[in-house]
Amino acid sequence: MGIRSVLVAMLGIAVAGGSAYGAREYLDQSRAVAATDPAAALVTVVVAGRDIPFGQPIQPQMLQVLSWPR
C-alpha cells in the first residue's frame, strides 16, 4: 500500500471521528436543554387517531390531540 493511500485512509478516519464527536456533543447539548425544562419544550399537535382513507372527509372523532416535543 502506498504512502498516499495510507494518508488518505488516516484523513478519512480523522474526519469520521471528528464528525462523530461533533454529532455526539450536539445531541448531548440538545438533551440537556430539553431536560432542564421539559414542560416548556412541548407543543400541542393534532394527529390522526386512526387510518383515514384517501379522499374521505376528516371528522373530529378521527383526530387526536397530543403534546409533542419541539
Same domain, 45 and 57: yes
Give the global pTM.
0.47
pLDDT of residue 12: 97
Q: What is the pLDDT of residues 33-51, one digit of tens each?
A: 666 665 667 889 999 999 9
Same domain, 32 and 50: no
**58: left (phi > 0), else alpha (psi -120 to 50), else beta?**
beta
Give the range of the structural domain holding residue 43, as residue numbers without chain letter: 37-70
The whole-angstrom separation of Cα 51 and Cα 45 is 17
The whole-angstrom separation of Cα 10 and Cα 33 is 35
Handedness of CA 14, 19, 20, 24 (dihedral sign): positive
Low-confidence ranges of the chain (pLDDT < 50): none
- Number of domains composing the chain: 2
Same domain, 22 and 12: yes
